[in-house]
Amino acid sequence: MTDLRQQALDYHEFPVPGKTAVCLTKPARTSKDLALAYSPGVAEPVREIASNPSDAYRYTNKGNTVAVISNGTAILGLGNLGPLASKPVMEGKALLFKHFANIDATDIEVKHRTTEEFINTVEAIADTFGGINLEDIKAPECFEIERELIERCAIPVFHDDQHGTAIVTAAGMINALEIQGKELCKAVFVCMGAGAAAIACMTMLVKCGAQRENIYMLDRQGVLHTRRDDMNEYKQLFANNTDKRTLQDVIAGADVFLGLSGPDLLTEEDIKLMADKPVIFACSNPDPEIKPELAHATRQDLIMGTGRSDYPNQVNNVLCFPFIFRGALDVRATRINDEMKIAAVKAIADLAKEPVPDSVLAAYEGVTEMKFGADYVLPKPMDPRLLSRIAKAVAQAAIDSGVAQLTELPDGYMD
C-alpha cells in the first residue's frame, strides 16, 4: 500500500466518514426558535412561496445551493464504476464549491436504467436547488442529458466535465501558446479522447480561434476520420478527411497534445515527433497520458500541464466550476451561456499574468516563486482572486446577455 493511498483513505474515514456535513444558519435552541423554524412559523414562508415561487430565493437556501449529480459512468479516468463509487468525487466537488465559493453543494448519485429515467429524476428535483452541476457522466449520453435538462429546468445546468474543463483548458492553452510564441489560429492540435471533456474542449478552442481543420481527435479506434462508420454524431463533427489513422500519424509536427482519455497513452517517442516548442496538457485523472517527469526528460522545449495538484500547471475544472456558479447564482441566471463561459476563459487567462500573492505561494510547500511562464500558465486553485474575478465577469456577462433575473450587479459586488 503506498503512503498516499493510505493517507487518502484515512483522510476520507477520519475523524468522521466523508467530507461534508450540514450546518445550521438559524438558532434552534428555544421553543420560540422552534416555533419559527418549524411549526407553526414555517407555514408563513410556505404560503409565500406557494403564491410566488421566486420567494424560494428569499426564504430558503435555494439561491446558494448546487446539486452535484452523477451516475458514475465516467468517474475521473477510472471509467464506469457506478453511482455509489462516484460519491467520494461528488463529495469532493461539494467540498470545493464550499471552500472556494461558499456555495452549499449536495452530492446526488443516481441509479437509473435509461437516459430518460436519469433526465426525469434530475428534472423532478431541480427546483430544490439554485443550480445543477452534472459530473462524471460519460459521452455520448452526457450531451443529450445536458441538452434536455437545460430545456426543462429554470436554473443553470452545467456539465462540469464538458464546460468547466473546456474553459480552463482554453485559458491555459491561450497562455501556453503565447509563451511558446505560437498562434491559436495556426496551431495544430491532437486530442486523445473524443468523449465529454474532449469534444467540449475542442469546441471551445474553435470558438476561441483554433481552426477546425487543424484539429485531429482520437478515440479507442484511432483517428476520427470521414470514412469511419462507427462514430456518434458528436465525433462526426470532428472527423477529418484524412489518410492518417494512428496517434503517430497525427502527432508528427503537431503543436499541441491534449489528453482527455486515460493513463500512459502518450510515449516519449510520440512527443519527440511534435513540432518545436509544443504544449502538452495530459489531463486524465488521476494518471495523465504521460508523466511530467518523462515528458521533461524527453524534451526541454515543452510546456506541460496535468489535471493534478502535485505538478505545475494544473489544468483542472476546479479553476472554474465554483466560481462560474457563484456568478450565475448571484444574478439568478437561468442558464450558463457561451457569453458567460467566454468571460470565464478571459478572467482565468488574464489572472495568470498578474503577480501572485504570498498567500498562494504559502499553500505550495517548497515553491518560492510563481510567475507567468512555462511552469505557470494558469492561476492556482488557492488563488483568492479567482472568486471575485471569475464570478464578477460571469455575472456581468449573464446580465449583458439577458439570462440574469437581476438587472444589475448587487452594490459593491465582489469589490
Helix, coil or strand: residue 67: strand
Whichever of 169 and 396 has its CB closer to ligand NDP, that residue is 169
The CB-of-172 to ligand NDP minimum distance in angstroms stands at 10
Binding residue for ligand PYR, selected from 70, 313, 316, 396, defined by CB under 6 A: 316
DSSP state of 376: B
The CB-of-135 to Mg ion minimum distance in angstroms stands at 5
How many angstroms separate the CA atoms of 92 and 267, rounded?
Answer: 31
Out of ligand NDP, ligand PYR, Mg ion, none, which partner does residue 175 contact, by CB within 5 to 8 A per kind? Answer: none
Binding residue for ligand NDP, selected from 36, 49, 56, 76, defined by CB under 6 A: 76
Binding residue for ligand NDP, selected from 70, 214, 316, 337, defined by CB under 6 A: 316
Helix, coil or strand: residue 69: strand
Contacts with ligand NDP: how many residues (CB under 6 A)?
29
Binding residue for Mg ion, selected from 91, 109, 136, 148, defined by CB under 5 A: 136
Binding residue for ligand NDP, selected from 64, 65, 71, 261, defined by CB under 6 A: 261
Binding residue for ligand NDP, selected from 92, 130, 195, 379, defined by CB under 6 A: 195
The CB-of-261 to ligand NDP minimum distance in angstroms stands at 4
Site residues (CB under 6 A) for ligand PYR, limited to 148-187 = 160-161
CA distances from 275 to 183, 213, 258, 304, 315 (A): 14, 17, 14, 14, 22
How many angstroms separate the CA atoms of 20 and 30, rounded?
Answer: 27
Contacts with ligand PYR: how many residues (CB under 6 A)?
8
* Dihedral angle over CA of 358, 313, 163, 182, nearest 10: 120
Contact flag: residue 307 with ligand NDP (CB under 6 A): yes
Query: Rg of the Cα trace of the chain?
Result: 22
Please answer whether residues 132 and 69 qualify as being in contact, where contact means their C-beta atoms are separated by less than 8 angstroms. yes
How many angstroms separate the CA atoms of 216 and 223, rounded?
Answer: 7
The CB-of-71 to ligand NDP minimum distance in angstroms stands at 12
Based on the residue annotation, tell me whether 291 is a catalytic residue of this protein. Answer: no
> Count of alpha carbons within 13 Å of 294, Cβ hemisphere only?
16
Secondary structure of 234-272 in HEC code, one letter for each residue: HHHCCCECCCCCCHHHHHCCCCEEEECCCCCCCCHHHHH
Based on the residue annotation, tell me whether 38 is a catalytic residue of this protein. Answer: yes
> Hunting for cell 460519460 — which residue is that?
138
Whichever of 156 and 164 has its CB closer to ligand PYR, that residue is 164
Contact flag: residue 334 with ligand PYR (CB under 6 A): no
Binding residue for ligand NDP, selected from 66, 69, 74, 191, defined by CB under 6 A: 74
Q: Which helix (H) or strand (E) holds 218?
A: strand 215-219
The distance in angstroms from the start CA to the end CA of the chain is 47
- Contact residues toward ligand NDP (CB under 6 A) are 74, 76-77, 138-139, 161, 165, 192-198, 218-221, 260-262, 265, 283-285, 307, 315-317
- Site for ligand PYR, rule CB under 6 A: 76, 136, 160-161, 285, 307, 316-317
Positions annotated as catalytic residues are 38, 93
Residues forming contacts to Mg ion in the complex (CB under 5 A) are 136, 161
